Structure 1
Amino acid sequence: MPEQPARAWRTVLEHIERDLLDGKLGPGDRLPSERDLAADLSVGRSSVREALRVLEVMGLIRTATGSGPQAGAIVIATPTGGMSTLLRLQVAAQGFPLDDVVQTRLVLEDAVVTTLAGRAERDTAEAHRILLAMDAEGLAPQEFLALDAQLHLALAQSSGNSVIAAMMAGLRTAIESYVVAGSEAIADWTTMADRLRTEHHAIVAAIDEGDADAAGALVRAHITGYYEHVLGHRPTD
């Protein structure tokens, strides 16, 4: 007897998860057809399609219609977009405490800059491009802070750690919300912007010089300093 529709799509997800964990499926492999999955699992094809939509949003498969080698549902090897989406939605839905978001950011960004600085070869070209854009005169606070967010994400992506990059991207909405909200309470934005520019340049310079200790200390002071300035307490309080 087929499962109730409300749970049938979960059966499909669990089946595919088991095949991934057991090594029966891997990056580049094609999933069985909707018809075969429905028959094998005793569920309706609509439930199979629902499960595939969930997997696609999660970034675990891509689907294409038609025939040929690229058609159907295929497991992909770069699920970072899906991970970012899921974390972003969890942040939005659960309303994680701001202190927790900042503490997580401190851990991630410390790891990012120290990893980059510790490499013999490091790519900070995108970071320098964004720094140059941030140095332009006449930027409105929201324009400046959008570039600020891009800079931190660019460094995370340059670190080469796809999990950290995905987590930073997923936290970006929560980070931007408190950063932008905080800017509205700053009486002298010009002075604050100059301070942030100086701090950003110092962080990237420490990375370029291979000074991991300095890069870590600078990024921690940068994050906690802004937080403390706009909210009046440190994230550990």
Structure 2
Amino acid sequence: MADEPRAWQVVLEHIEKDLLSGVLKPGDRLPGERSLAADLGVGRSSVREALRVLEVLGLIRTASGSGPSSGAIIISVPGGGMSALMRMQVAARGFSVADLVDTRLILETEVVSKLARATTPHDLEPSHRLLAAMESTDLSPEEFLALDTQFHLSLAEALGNHVLTATMAGLRSSVEGYARQGLAGLASWKTTSLRLRHEHRAVSDAIAAGDAKLARQAIRAHITGYYVESGLPGSGQPVTDSSPEEN
């Protein structure tokens, strides 16, 4: 079969079509390999390749044997596949630090603004635990920055927007990477880490006070401050914030 090396894409497109039309939904079991191969006119090896792709993307889980839990089953893991694709895309394209910072400003100013304006408070306990963990003076710079990045992600998770969370999760490794790269340009990690702790608390306090404008200003100063202080590439250029100011 001339198109056999790409036949797995036929399987993916077929499953995507069934998901979009509602024929398949989370919890449904996919037809067996032999049935899919026969119905779509592809080899069983192509079916297996397509199933491996879907499993890596977090769209199905597979189990051998027989019974209700066996075979390939559609699962719902919000953002799992999107995050994986975003991480690979960022790694492959090598996006500039300036672009990453710009993207963070667009996303995170909106996150903290919505959290602050929420009429029903969101669960920020995970974020508060991360703030407490960052108070430890025994942390290495790398450990601190890992917690720092997780704190920012936890705010998006608290908001509950799965697409936004998946996007930020996909950017996480690159954000942490440029933050670690910037360590070499700091005059004093002790001084910088104290400032970062204070800035994190300022963001958290502004959200708790329901002050969306202050929360936006705090997160913007926090993100751009480290970027400029560490002298990362492009940090001498203005970083935009296209979002409107809150009243």
Aligned residue for 1:184, secondary structure, equals helix
1:79 CA displacement: 4.0
Aligned residue for 2:61, secondary structure, equals strand
Residues 58-113 of structure 1: per-residue CA shift (max 9 Å, x gap): 11111111112221111112242221111111111111122221111111111211
8 Å contact kept, 2:55–2:62: yes
Superposition pairs of residues 68-83 of structure 1, within 5 angstroms: 68-83=67-82
- Normalising by structure 2, report the TM-score: 0.91
Matched, 1:122 2:125: no
Residues 3-40 of structure 1: per-residue CA shift (max 9 Å, x gap): 53211101111111111122211122111111110000
1:158 CA displacement: 1.0
1:234 CA displacement: 4.2
Tell me the distance in 1 between the aligned counterparts of 2:72 and 2:204: 42
Tell me the distance in 1 between the aligned counterparts of 2:140 and 2:80: 29
8 Å contact kept, 1:124–1:208: no
Tell me the distance in 2 between the aligned counterparts of 1:215 and 1:3: 58
Letter in 2 for 1:218: A
> Structure 1 residues 77, 138: closer, same or farther in 2, change over 3 A?
closer
Structure 1 window deviating more from structure 2 (97-106 vs 191-200): it is 97-106
Superposition pairs of residues 186-225 of structure 1, within 5 angstroms: 186-225=186-225
Superposition pairs of residues 9-88 of structure 1, within 5 angstroms: 9-88=8-87
1:53 CA displacement: 0.5
8 Å contact kept, 1:58–1:85: yes
Tell me the distance in 1 between the aligned counterparts of 2:131 and 2:76: 32
Tell me the distance in 1 between the aligned counterparts of 2:238 and 2:80: 28
- Normalising by structure 1, report the TM-score: 0.94
8 Å contact kept, 2:32–2:71: yes
Matched, 1:93 2:96: no
> Structure 1 residues 71, 43: closer, same or farther in 2, change over 3 A?
same
Aligned residue for 2:185, secondary structure, equals coil
Tell me the distance in 2 between the aligned counterparts of 1:158 and 1:45: 42
Matched, 1:109 2:108: yes
Between Structure 1 and Structure 2, how many residues are aligned?
A: 236
Query: What 5-or-longer segments of structure 2 have no aligned partner?
Result: 241-247
Tell me the distance in 1 between the aligned counterparts of 2:161 and 2:43: 39
8 Å contact kept, 1:55–1:61: yes
Structure 1 window deviating more from structure 2 (76-85 vs 211-220): it is 76-85
8 Å contact kept, 1:227–1:235: no
Tell me the distance in 2 between the aligned counterparts of 1:64 and 1:207: 44
8 Å contact kept, 2:105–2:223: yes
Q: Which residue of 1 aligns with 2:243?
A: none
8 Å contact kept, 1:3–1:42: no
Tell me the distance in 2 between the aligned counterparts of 1:79 and 1:162: 6
Aligned residue for 1:139, secondary structure, equals coil
> Structure 1 residues 198, 92: closer, same or farther in 2, change over 3 A?
same
Structure 1 window deviating more from structure 2 (79-88 vs 32-41): it is 79-88
Report percent identity of matched pairs.
57
